[in-house]
Amino acid sequence: MKFSAQQIAAALNGTIEGNQAVEVNSISKIEEGKPGSISFLANPKYTQYIYSTQASIVIVNDDFKPTEPINSTLIRVKNAENAFGQLLEMYNQVKLNKSGISEISFIHSSSTIGSDCYVGEYAVIAENAKIGNNVKIYPQVYIGENVTVGDNTTLFAGVKIYSDGVIGKNCIIHSGTVIGSDGFRFALQDGGKKIPQIGNVVIEDHVEIGSNCSIDRATIGSTILRSGVKLDNLVHIAHNVEIKENSYLAAHNVIAGSTTVGKNCMFSGQVGIVGHLTIADNTVIAAQSGISKSITKNGTALMGSPAMEINKYRKNYIHFRNLSEIVDKINELEKLLSKNS
């Protein structure tokens, strides 16, 4: 799909310098710009590229003053970075605006599907599922029995949602993620017998889950991701965990069973949290930290494994790095003391 400079400028409330009729059908970095693409200049470090880029259109700030001739058509806006972000969002909406139900998908007769939905090839919607309006279900998605999916939610290719799951409105779940697989519970005193997992997973509105995540169903009750939660790729959330509103977890986070994470928390990559803990609101945890005790103070920042308050960890780390030298000095002192005794 092509768009002219005139159409783009109108959408961004910008003004055009150059050919109003020039058309683009792709987006590029300014240093990699090709004919038929649109780019932007916001960071002064990249100014050099505007004179050599082959991008057909470049979005710039209103106050940009070129010092050399420019071949591209310019669209001047108040804030080029924000405008380009707006353009990316518009482009994504057009790109992902799929509709229609594939003839080689399967939808059980007892299930209901709202208006303007897309169901791709080999997607399966099982008994008594309820799908809202404008839901995008990409190829090879499996939606189990009694699952509910809210309006405007997108399930990318290969997502699997086990029975009884509840997915809210305006959610995005990326490829390969599994929602509702069994929690990891076995009766060790009974020869490792598996404990049945009869709960479900509840995902509220405006949640985004990255690719290849696993959200376990509860043993009893629900594993819950509250509104606005964002999970990166390769995150594991165990049975009966609750993550409260607007918390962000980066890749490789693992949260063990029955732990509650507060609101507005931010966890960097590879954080591990043991089970049955409570993590206070606004907690920040640095990468590769291990949490073995509940965090009760709002706004705590932690680092290390086992984790400690981040400023304390940084001070201690100076000693960690010098530990071998400290040991050598102690050994020398012991030798001196033994000679003098």
- The phi and psi torsions of 6 (rounded to 5 degrees) equal -65, -45
| Helices of type H across the chain | 5-12, 80-95, 310-321, 323-340
Contacts of residue 167, defined as CB under 8 A and 6 or more positions apart, other chains included, come to: 147, 148, 149, 150, 153, 155, 161, 173, 179, 203
Beta bridge partners of 59: 40, 75
User: What integer pLDDT is reported at residue 311 of this predicted model?
Assistant: 87
> How crowded is residue 314: how many other Cβ atoms within 10 Å of its Cβ?
13
Amino acid residing at 6: Q
> In angstroms, rounded to a whole number, what is the distance separating the alpha carbons of residues 309 and 289?
11
3-state helix, strand, coil in the chain (%, to 5): 20, 30, 50
> In angstroms, rounded to a whole number, what is the distance separating the alpha carbons of residues 28 and 136?
27
> In angstroms, rounded to a whole number, what is the distance separating the alpha carbons of residues 311 and 316?
9
Which parts of the chain register pLDDT below 70?
341
Q: Tell me how far apart the 2 most distant CA atoms of the chain are, in Å.
A: 94
> In angstroms, rounded to a whole number, what is the distance separating the alpha carbons of residues 211 and 87?
24
User: What integer pLDDT is reported at residue 316 of this predicted model?
Assistant: 82
CATH for 100-314 is 2.160.10.10
User: What integer pLDDT is reported at residue 218 of this predicted model?
Assistant: 97
User: For tokens 């009694």, what's the residue?
Assistant: 146
Q: Where are the domains of the chain?
A: 3-95, 100-314, 315-341
User: For tokens 């768009």, what's the residue?
Assistant: 3
Distances (CA, A) of 236 to 5, 66, 160, 173, 175: 45, 50, 15, 14, 15
Q: Which residues are catalytic?
A: 239
CATH for 3-95 is 3.40.1390.10
Amino acid residing at 103: E
User: For tokens 């693409």, what's the residue?
Assistant: 37
